[in-house]
């Protein structure tokens, strides 16, 4: 029995090994993904993002437990795009996740960015596919912040939950402008703080300013105190309602089409580059780079020439 | 006289037009970049990053004015990777930059991410090239935060300045772990706040924990009160010393080689994808995407087949 079959039969070690293979990328990863792809497309992919200190890990724990109470199995992927080199920050948070480890229907994995452009989004999408093929009903992808990487990750999610906390100053409003457009559900966590109502009103005002709801969905604002489990059921209600809305409104298929198209383009691009590089050879590539560095040729002309040579075309474009 | 010649002769409208052409990308942008590439490689590229509210815009203003006092011309690029869709947040800050507008040796431009993977890093690198070819001695690229996009942008800079402020709680330490590895100069701004010394000591401790300095460079920590211009001369001293260190130690050439290699690979990849897509045609691509979406084929096998067909090879890899 192969690894994929073992994983689908519920073997956790096979799952963990496949995640590692896929995360590492390369030919092995691609082969595994090609094989397990047929089993994907079943899970509800939920993105959870927000600033450091918003209590995301605790909230994700509680959401996972609530989903379990509703008989869903849950995969959690904690992604830290802010630590591209060492990649450690979020791992500390994971220690708090340990209690979940006893439940065999919950699987938790941390990932750090590899410092590669688009690398984290690629790897996250791939690991989500493994969890999807493994049969988890819901997959929660947790990320910090509101940068480009988070937005890319949000694009892969069906439902994106943005976590805010009371007491963030005006300074942070700048970031919210970007986050508004990826949020399907807002959660104001630590809602027992005194200015929680103010944060709620502020978010409401921002949503109203945003105009016509995207995909006809009115973004709900849920107040939670994750440390005490308060409001978590409402948050899960909102998350599940959103998925139903996407499906009922016909938006789900269109999102999937766009996602597949993007992903296919990325894969094609990687393969095409690999082919060109292989045909040209390392020595010639290095010589070309040296010429570009000394400004004897510009990189655009150099790339066209290399492409023409590798693919045996008179004019590359 | 072409646009590039006009720009190099000091024509500001030609410069602004070229920036727009290059920012928009496409064939026109690539052609312009190919032509002006020979004039690049002269400027000192300085990245400035830090959390919202750290006073980066004011600091960048003051650094620019100090560089002017030292007879350098300065290009400023304010990049906002946190607003990938609307892209407005940092623009408000730019209003404060207006006073610089009277000095013809300072050029200021704001950019927002286009929501495309790697789009902001690509566009930033391209606009930096235009400013470099225009003859600016120093180019300051200002970004918010510490996400993947900022790290990508930092990679393009010769010297990366990370701005911190006193009074950030422990919550933000997570982000600092990533930022430590891109910082060439730390600036503690708003250093008149009471816990400024504590922030300084904290950074010092982090740097010591970091072990052997990268490229044999001891990262300095400069205290500033940008609103009063205090410490700005010392910050500029540190920035200029870093460049001298890179050049004297032979690190500059190696950084440039890596940068050129990365850039060349990106360009090659884009061209290769374009060629494959052109040869296959839109109809067939859409049919393939539909098959992937319904899981009749996996995207990896689909990409290999499409590549084989487009490039007329028996086996694509």
Q: Kindly state whether residue B220 falls inside one of the protein's structural domains.
A: yes
Chain B residues in contact with A81 (beta carbon < 8 A): 147-148
Higher pLDDT, B211 or B299: B299
Nearest to B311 by CA among A163, A93, A2, A313: A313
Q: In this structure, what CATH number is given to the domain that contains residue B200?
A: 3.40.50.300
Residue B279 shares a structural domain with residue B208? no
pLDDT confidence of residue A135? 96
- pLDDT band at residue A312, thresholds of 50, 70 and 90? confident
Q: Kindly state whether residue B5 falls inside one of the protein's structural domains.
A: no
Higher pLDDT, B213 or B76: B76
Chain B residues in contact with A178 (beta carbon < 8 A): 82-86, 89
- Which residues make Cβ contacts (< 8 Å) with residue B191, sequence separation at least 6? B166, B223, B224, B225, B230, B231
**B91-121 confidence digits (pLDDT tens):** 444 444 555 656 678 888 887 655 444 567 7
Residue A57 shares a structural domain with residue A169? yes
Segment B63-90 shows an average pLDDT of: 74
DSSP character string of B19-35: HHHHHH-HHHHHHHHHH
By mean pLDDT, which of A39-48, A139-148, A266-275, B285-294 is the weakest?
Answer: A139-148
pLDDT confidence of residue B100? 60
Statement: residue A157 has pLDDT above 70: yes
Residue B283 shares a structural domain with residue B230? no
Nearest to B269 by CA among A277, A33, A202: A277
**Cβ count near A9 (within 10 Å):** 11
- Cβ-nearest to A115 among B151, B263, B316: B151
Nearest-by-CA chain B residue for A311: B311
Residue A160 shares a structural domain with residue A302? no
**B26-39 confidence digits (pLDDT tens):** 889 999 999 999 99
- Cβ-nearest to B298 among A37, A147, A253: A37
| A69–chain B nearest CA distance, Å | 31
Statement: residue A200 has pLDDT above 70: yes
Residue B302 shares a structural domain with residue B269? yes
The number of domains in chain B is: 2
pLDDT confidence of residue B221? 96
By mean pLDDT, which of A64-68, A297-301, B19-23, B98-102 is the weakest?
Answer: B98-102
Q: Do A172 and B52 touch (CB under 8 A)?
A: yes
Residue B45 shares a structural domain with residue B189? yes
Q: At which of A198, A222, A249 does a domain end? A: A249
Nearest to B211 by CA among B181, B182, B188, B247: B181
Q: Kindly state whether residue A317 falls inside one of the protein's structural domains.
A: no
Distance in Å from the first CA to the final CA of chain B: 47
- Tell me which residue has tokens 């250093």: B191
Most confident of the following: A175-179, B83-87, B138-142 = B138-142
pLDDT confidence of residue A93? 44
Q: Kindly state whether residue A69 falls inside one of the protein's structural domains.
A: yes
pLDDT confidence of residue A24? 85
**Cβ count near B210 (within 10 Å):** 15
Residue B52 shares a structural domain with residue B130? yes
Most confident of the following: A70-84, A194-208, B271-285 = B271-285
Q: Do B148 and A149 touch (CB under 8 A)?
A: yes
pLDDT confidence of residue B127? 93
Q: Kindly state whether residue B179 falls inside one of the protein's structural domains.
A: yes
pLDDT confidence of residue B4? 96
Lookup: tokens for A103: 């439940």
pLDDT confidence of residue A177? 54
Residue B205 shares a structural domain with residue B295? no
- Which residues make Cβ contacts (< 8 Å) with residue B264, sequence separation at least 6? A288, A289, A292, A299, A302, A303
Nearest-by-CA chain B residue for A32: B300
Q: How high does pLDDT run on average in chain A?
A: 83
By mean pLDDT, which of A207-211, A273-277, B185-189, B245-249 is the weakest?
Answer: A207-211
| B262–chain A nearest CA distance, Å | 10
Q: Kindly state whether residue B284 falls inside one of the protein's structural domains.
A: yes
- Cβ-nearest to B178 among A82, A256, A299: A82
Pairing of strands B185-188, B159-164: parallel
Segment A178-191 shows an average pLDDT of: 86
| B295–chain A nearest CA distance, Å | 5
Q: Kindly state whether residue B22 falls inside one of the protein's structural domains.
A: no
Segment A6-17 shows an average pLDDT of: 93
Chain A residues in contact with B273 (beta carbon < 8 A): 265, 268-269, 272
What is the residue range of A31's domain?
A: 1-39
Segment B260-280 shows an average pLDDT of: 90
Lookup: tokens for B103: 């000095």
Q: How high does pLDDT run on average in chain B?
A: 83
Statement: residue A172 has pLDDT above 70: no
Distance CA B199, CA B192 (A): 12
Higher pLDDT, A18 or A86: A18
Distance CA B237, CA B216 (A): 18
Chain B residues in contact with A152 (beta carbon < 8 A): 117
Residue B91 shares a structural domain with residue B218? yes
pLDDT confidence of residue A292? 95
**B122-147 confidence digits (pLDDT tens):** 788 899 999 999 999 999 999 865 45
Question: Which of B126, B178, B261, B297 should be substituted to probe chain A, the one whose Cβ sees the most A Cβ atoms within 10 Å?
Answer: B178
Nearest to A30 by CA among A226, A268, A282, A239: A268
- Cβ-nearest to A52 among B40, B81, B172: B172
Helices (H), chain B: 3-8, 12-24, 26-36, 56-69, 89-94, 119-133, 148-156, 173-179, 196-209, 232-248, 251-280, 282-293, 299-311
**A80-112 confidence digits (pLDDT tens):** 655 443 333 444 444 445 556 566 788 888 876
Chain A residues in contact with B263 (beta carbon < 8 A): 299
Chain A residues in contact with B317 (beta carbon < 8 A): 271, 274-275
Distance CA A266, CA A268 (A): 5
Cβ proximity of B56 and B142 under 8 Å: yes
Q: At which of B225, B249, B273 does a domain end? A: B249
Question: Which of A272, A306, A313, A314 should be substituted to probe chain B, the one whose Cβ sees the most B Cβ atoms within 10 Å?
Answer: A272
Q: Do B120 and A149 touch (CB under 8 A)?
A: no
Residue A77 shares a structural domain with residue A146? yes
Q: Do A256 and B293 touch (CB under 8 A)?
A: yes
Is the overall model pTM greater than 0.95, yes or no? Answer: no
Nearest-by-CA chain A residue for B55: A171
- Cβ-nearest to B147 among A148, A256, A267: A148
Q: Kindly state whether residue A256 falls inside one of the protein's structural domains.
A: no
Residue A232 shares a structural domain with residue A302? no
pLDDT confidence of residue B110? 82
Statement: residue A232 has pLDDT above 60: yes
Distance CA B121, CA A117 (A): 9
Residue A72 shares a structural domain with residue A217? yes
pLDDT confidence of residue A44? 97
Pairing of strands B221-223, B159-164: unpaired
Higher pLDDT, A66 or B90: A66
Size of interface A-B (CB pairs under 8 A): 237
Indicate whether this complex's ipTM tops 0.90.
no
Lookup: tokens for A92: 């500390």
- Cβ-nearest to B317 among A275, A295, A304: A275
pLDDT confidence of residue A315? 47
């Amino acid at each position: 029995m192969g690894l994929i079959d073992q994983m689908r039969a519920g073997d956790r070690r096979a799952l963990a090994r496949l995640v590692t293979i896929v995360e590492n990328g390369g030919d092995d990863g691609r082969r595994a993904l090609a094989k397990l792809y047929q089993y994907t497309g079943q899970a509800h992919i939920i993105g959870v993002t927000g600033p450091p200190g918003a209590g995301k890990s605790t909230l994700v724990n509680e959401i996972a437990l609530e989903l379990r109470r509703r008989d869903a199995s849950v995969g959690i992927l904690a992604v830290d795009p802010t630590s591209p080199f060492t990649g450690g920050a979020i791992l500390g948070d994971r220690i708090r996740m340990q209690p979940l480890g006893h439940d065999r229907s919950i699987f938790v994995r941390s990932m750090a960015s590899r410092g590669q452009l688009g690398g984290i989004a690629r790897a996250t999408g791939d690991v989500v596919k493994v969890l999807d093929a493994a049969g988890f009903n819901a997959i929660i992808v947790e990320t910090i912040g509101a940068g480009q990487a988070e937005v890319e990750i949000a694009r892969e999610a069906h439902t994106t939950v943005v976590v805010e906390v009371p007491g963030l100053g005006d300074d942070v409003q700048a970031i919210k402008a970007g986050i508004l457009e990826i949020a399907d559900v807002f959660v104001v966590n630590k809602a027992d703080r005194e200015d929680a109502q103010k944060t709620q009103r502020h978010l409401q005002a921002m949503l109203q300013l945003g105009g016509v709801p995207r995909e006809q969905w009115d973004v709900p604002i849920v107040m939670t105190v994750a440390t005490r489990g308060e409001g978590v059921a409402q948050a899960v209600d909102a998350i599940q309602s959103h998925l139903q809305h996407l499906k009922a409104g016909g938006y789900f298929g269109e999102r999937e089409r766009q996602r597949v198209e993007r992903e296919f383009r990325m894969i094609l691009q990687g393969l095409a580059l690999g082919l060109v590089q292989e045909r040209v050879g390392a020595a010639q590539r290095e010589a070309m780079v040296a010429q570009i560095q000394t400004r004897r040729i510009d990189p655009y002309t150099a790339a066209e020439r290399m492409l023409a040579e590798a693919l045996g075309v008179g004019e590359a474009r």
